[in-house]
Structure 1
């Protein structure tokens, strides 16, 4: 049996053009991502990109980030994705959250104010530091680059 998850608190500041819109929310009890909606009407041409306003800014607790991810239904049905997926919102950013969408489809995509456009996933951040060394340890893969492990399963 798993223990209940304790949510972190993310403070949200609604901006004037975000009045009346729902706050990001989980669609189901076990959803990992919170749906976020558009605060504007916009049409994205095929091959086009646009930073869609959400109408809010937020304060993420130190030690966390919020990842912005595509919605699978929009990707499958319309070719709508995020060119920098997952996008990262850092804990020290206080500006409006805008979702960069790209239309990989072949027809213009119309977004109406209030449409769900992406999902937000809160995630812990593991800080790192680099240690410069003369040599790295050996592995089975070694320095094999993209595609070096093949396609077929073993």
Structure 2
């Protein structure tokens, strides 16, 4: 697996994703447009970039903690998955959980993207599965 992420800027206002600090897991993604997200509503925000992921990886799109804490803005389908073969423009689904409208500014950092390995598994249908300590214990089974 190579560690090269190829980025194509497809809009004059597009910015390369970058890490705010050395060693950060997430690459900041930027808006190329201004947009109002009304309280309780969602918006699809353009980044103006396309990319070619390294073989065997995915990009996970996640919220920025500052936007979530200060403005109740988050990525709706968090983490959003961008598959290795996708070559279209990267767009971010943001939702405003706040009580006031929120203005996305051009060049604003709107989300972060983490590149992660993807394990390709062989699917096998079985009539029975092995037991585990947890078995079918699910929601709330380990206590509140």
Question: Which residue of the partner structure matches residue 5 of structure 2?
Answer: 10
Secondary structure class of the residue paired with 1:77:
helix
Question: Which residue of the partner structure matches residue 99 of structure 2?
Answer: 106
Question: Which residue of the partner structure matches residue 26 of structure 2?
Answer: 33
**1:11-65 Cα deviation digits (max 9, x unpaired):** 11111xx324431000001211011110100010111111100011111122111
- Structure 1 stretches lacking a partner, 5+ long: 1-6
TM-score (norm 2): 0.94
- Deviation, 1:8, is 1.4
How many residues in Structure 1 have an aligned counterpart in Structure 2? 143
User: Within 2, Cα distance between the matches of 1:111 and 1:140?
Assistant: 47
**1:126-154 Cα deviation digits (max 9, x unpaired):** 11122111211112221122111112xxx
User: Within 1, Cα distance between the matches of 2:34 and 2:104?
Assistant: 6
TM-score (norm 1): 0.88
Question: Which residue of the partner structure matches residue 74 of structure 1?
Answer: 67
User: Within 2, Cα distance between the matches of 1:61 and 1:34?
Assistant: 15
**1:63-108 Cα deviation digits (max 9, x unpaired):** 1111111000111111111111111111110100001101111110
User: Within 2, Cα distance between the matches of 1:113 and 1:54?
Assistant: 10
4+ residue segments displaced more than 3 Å: none
Tell me if 1:122 matches 2:115: yes
User: Within 1, Cα distance between the matches of 2:45 and 2:13?
Assistant: 17
Structure 2 matches for 1:88-103, cutoff 5 A?
Answer: 88-103=81-96
Mapped contact 1:26–1:35 kept (Cα < 8 A): yes
Mapped contact 1:40–1:112 kept (Cα < 8 A): yes
- Structure 2 stretches lacking a partner, 5+ long: none
User: Within 2, Cα distance between the matches of 1:20 and 1:117?
Assistant: 15
Secondary structure class of the residue paired with 2:98:
coil
